[in-house]
Amino acid sequence: MDTPADTKSRSHRTPSPGMRLTCPTCGNDRDFVEVADGVILTTHYVQNEDSSFSQDGDESQILGEIRFFCGECNADLTRFHQRFVEMLF
Ligand SMILES: [Zn+2]
């Protein structure tokens, strides 16, 4: 999932070694799932001369909670979400 509106909080940083996120329950360090509640998706369109529409950017707003899970065993890893966001490029 790549939501453009979310890039504000995800500034680019240099990854520091030893910060690899690993699920404490099953040891998975590859697959993770982010779940956002109450998301409003807003998409802008422009109507062309021939009456067709072109997408002109979109923005999304997350109103609810963001939760973070292990993609293997579904353990709740929300406490690691902040670190996940910092390492998201
Ligand atoms: Zn796991």
Between the CA of 31 and the centroid of ligand 1 the distance, in Å, is 9
Between the CA of 29 and the centroid of ligand 1 the distance, in Å, is 8
Of the candidates 30, 36, 38, 25, the one whose C-alpha atom is nearest the C-alpha of residue 74 is 25
Beta carbons of 60 and 83 less than 8 angstroms apart: no
Between the CA of 84 and the centroid of ligand 1 the distance, in Å, is 15
Q: Is the pTM of this model over 0.75?
A: no
Between the CA of 87 and the centroid of ligand 1 the distance, in Å, is 19
Q: What is the pLDDT along the chain (89 residues), one digit of tens a residue?
A: 555 555 445 555 565 566 789 999 999 999 999 999 999 999 999 999 999 999 998 888 989 999 999 999 999 999 999 999 998 88
pLDDT of 7 reads 46
Between the CA of 79 and the centroid of ligand 1 the distance, in Å, is 14
pLDDT of 71 reads 97
